[in-house]
Structure 1
Amino acid sequence: MDAKSIKEEKAELEIWQYIFGFTPVAVVKCAIELEIADTIESHGGAVSLPDLASAVCCSPSALGRIMRYLTHRGFFELHESTHKYSNTPLSLRLLLKNGANSVAPFLLMEASPEMLAPWHRLRASAAPGGGSAFRAVYGEDFWDYASQNPAVSKLFDDGIASHATRAICEIIERCGDVFEGIGCLLDVGGGDGTTLRYITEACPWVRGINFDLPHVVCVAPQIRGVEHVAGDMFKHIPEADAVFIKWVLHDRSDDECMHVLKKCREAVPKETGKVIIVETVIVEGEEDEYSDTKLALDMVMMAHTEKGKERTFEEWDCVIKGAGFSSYTVKHIGSIFSIIVACP
């Protein structure tokens, strides 16, 4: 088979993957809402289809088709000898609705009607004069919309918190030394304080300040060693030994990033302070197992933010230097993250 035929055969296969590309997320969302993985765990780790259908109040026939699809996709394993289903590492990480290390809330957030609607208006974000898919649907940006809709705000906060759990554990494990010598750490856009909870538990010498918008921190749970402070990062950032800012800057334009980072730089001591940035760094021309995810996340920014984007190394260099930092280092920490430590 020549090269042209191989490409045509590959294209024929991919055509159907795109036509029905919505299917995986829809079925996975259904499985989370039915609490299938949780039910399997509550039945000792293995359960038959009739018992599972009874437990989740589903038609055995319909549930059987759902389980066939999800088993094919690697979410469950069907044991032929017992005719029982068990979870796999994939279902334990993505489908457990009540799992401590599950990112199910993150998927439920991204797959919610509110977050899916802007995808149908994505071309608005590609308008010559600039535009916003989210604003085209709701008439305002996400932050204003969430501040007036508590259910959407909670959905977002829960989703980001579940993601933060995995991300911060990875950061602490791979480069926990970045927190050494820090007495007070300010988390900008820290949501419900999940990130600081993990940091202060792993690094008990750190006192945390969780800094976010008033409608966010007013419902944040009390956390030992963490103080919740309401404010606007564009207007003022409280002083601290170091600033931590994760998955916040990708929501913003270059000018907005430089504005926020300048305030972060001014909030830490000139000689000993640092700003710890956790974001995706796209390395153009290089491919790895997470390249597709990084580029997909850039499309998420286009759908859900006004001018946000995932940045290349060169774009981060421009933003950090534009904010007045004297030096910085970049370290890839696995999956889709890199940690940037900028010094005043």
Structure 2
Amino acid sequence: MALTVKSTDDHALLNAEHELWATTFSYIKSMALKSALDLRLADAIHHHGGAATLPQIAARVTVHPSKIPCLRRLMRTLTVSGVFSVVQQQDVVVPAASVSNGTCNGGVAAEPLYALTPVSRLLVGSRNLVSIITMLLSPNFVTSFLGIGAWFEHSLPDPCLFTQAHGEALWTMADRDATFDALINDAMVSDSSFIMDIAIRECGEVFQGIGSLMDVGGGLGAAAQAISGAFPSLECTVMDLDHVVAKAPAGTDVNYVVGDMFESVPPADAVFLKPAALWRLSLDLDVRSGGQPSAPHACRSQARIWRDRRHLLCFLCASSDASVESWAMCGTSVCGPVSSQIRSDLASGPWCPHDSLLDVDDAWVLHDWGHEDCVKILKNCKKSIPPREKGGKVIIIDIVIGAGPSHVKHRELQSMFDLYMMIVDGIERDEQEWEKIFLEAGFSGYKVIHVLGFRSIIEVYP
């Protein structure tokens, strides 16, 4: 029977309701994945050769026996979402004590055999992505987005989402919380190792024909070590701040040099700027001394802290003899939830002259920087490399919104990644925005190479 107009309208309404519910429940999907990481479900299945029954899984994870029926429900959700799959039914003996809710009283039952999928295989093995996903799903990051609606109601300048939610900058929290700092560090290493392995396999030619490579802001050198291992004749150097270089591992084929990408970049045939993973390896601060007191906080480069890095100030008064009340008022008007802590800190001192304060920039590469800062970084990169005809270039790994596969999920991930970068006032760019930066920095051309899924490799030529 043909659908009537009324039934067609109802069908459309139900489809719309489905989309609305599915979008609303997206966080359930994420939390189910987080549970899989917390319980190490993928490891349990991997232990059994890549496929296991629920009793086998339960025997290897820390699930209370009374929660096994709930574990079955979790596995069903993870299976529907593609994290795991059901490959066959297997007859197993089910103890009566392990079965509840009226399913059976023990005996023989058909047990689903859960298997790893391409998604969950990324959660096991030496090159797994557990650390980066664990970081992204951790409470400090997730709760930062609960106030995004309120954030849009305030005029700029305004604290980023992370600062708004927690009353302190992300790097400040990492500095005082060793566990949080380790979470970030492990996440950056896992993402960098994963993406560099693929970049070298799929597009290794971008590193061929050059004699030296300068990894600017390269942290502890995970990316440079991967490149050096694949191209032994290529001299790889990591440039970073002194407190980062001081932690550099010994016994590698990578050289380390202290420097500031806002001041200059050491000469090399090519400069490498990795995606900063999602963040910057080690959450290193670009601490640059000097300069005059700034106007109210308008960008990350105007954030200030005490030299001992304990007191975050989002506003620097014009003189060191400002009253406690005026400092606290600045904190209240700019920092919101951090103001009470500032008031307490400043009331107890000690006072410090303004020229002893340090400028603090989030030292993450390109997608964490505004337009003018990116231009400045790239201008310094251009000065350090030979002309294009002699092989000089800058190699960037980052997102180019709209580039790569055109399917909806790909575009959706890129747009969500861009929104996610608001957590630290970062941004992802489309090709036109990248091109504008390259031209303003004095480069003659560029090439976008689509071999890294939602990310791209960009070669920029002087």
TM-score range, shorter chain: 0.7 to 0.9
Q: Check the 8 A contact 1:197/1:223 in 2, yes or no.
A: no
Kindly state the Cα deviation for residue 227 of structure 1 after the two structures are TM-superposed: 2.5
Distance 2:440 2:172 in 1: 28
The one of 113, 124, 128 equivalent to 2:155 is: 128
1:89: how far off?
Answer: 1.7
User: Bigger CA drift: 115-124 or 243-252?
Assistant: 115-124
What is the identity percentage for the equivalent residue pairs of Structure 1 and Structure 2? 35
Asked if residue 115 in structure 1 is aligned to residue 138 in structure 2, the reply is no
The match for 2:336 is none
Unmatched segments (≥5 aa) in structure 2: 92-110, 276-364
One-letter code aligned to 1:112? S
The equivalent residue for 2:399 is 280
SS in 2 for 1:70: helix
1:255 is aligned, of 355, 362, 372, to 372
Aligned pairs for 1:202-221 (under 5 A) are 202-214=230-242, 216-221=244-249
1:142 has 2:170 as partner: yes
Deviations 1:162-195 (A, max 9, x none): 2222322232223211111222212223233222
The equivalent of 1:265 in structure 2 is: 382
| Cα contact 2:209–2:391 (8 A) shared by 1 | no
**How much does 1:220 deviate?**
4.7
Matched, 1:343 2:370: no
SS at match of 2:90: coil
- Structure 1 counterpart of 2:115: 86
| Among candidates 179, 184, 193, match of residue 156 of structure 1 | 184
Shift of 1:101: 2.9
* Paired amino acid for 1:185: L
Relative to structure 1, the CA distance from residue 181 to residue 287 in structure 2 (aligned partners, 3 Å threshold; closer, same or farther) is closer
Whose helix fraction is larger, Structure 1's or Structure 2's?
A: 1
CA contact (8 A) 1:252 1:305 kept: no
SS at 2:194 equivalent: helix
Aligned to 1:73, which of 68, 75, 81?
A: 81
Cα separation, 2, equivalents of 1:49 and 1:220: 44
Between structure 1 and structure 2, the one with the greater Rg is 2
For the 8 Å contact 1:261–1:320, the answer to whether it is kept is yes
Q: 1:201 to 1:322 in 2, by over 3 A?
A: same
Q: Is the contact between residue 246 and residue 278 of structure 1 (CA under 8 Å) also seen in structure 2?
A: yes
- Counterpart of 2:78, as a letter, is L
Q: 1:65 to 1:328 in 2, by over 3 A?
A: same
Q: Show structure 1 runs of 5+ residues with no match.
A: none
Q: 2:415 aligns with which of 276, 295, 315?
A: 295
Q: TM-score, normalised by structure 2?
A: 0.67
Instruction: Give the whole-Å Cα distance in 1 for the aligned partners of 2:206 and 2:401.
Output: 22
The answer as to whether partners of 1:242 and 1:274 remain within 8 angstroms in 2 is: yes
Post-superposition CA distance 1:226-262 (Å, at most 9, x none): 1244443323433322111022211111111111111
Name segments (4+ residues, structure 1) moved above 6 Å: none
2:306 corresponds to which residue? Answer: none
The residue type equivalent to 1:119 in the other structure is: F
With the length of structure 1 as denominator, give the TM-score of the two structures. Answer: 0.88
Could you tell me whether the CA contact under 8 Å between 2:195 and 2:452 is conserved in 1?
Answer: no
Following TM superposition, by how much is the alpha carbon of 1:46 offset from its aligned partner in structure 2, in angstroms?
3.0
CA distance in 2, matches of 1:239, 1:143: 30
Q: Matched residue pairs, number?
A: 338
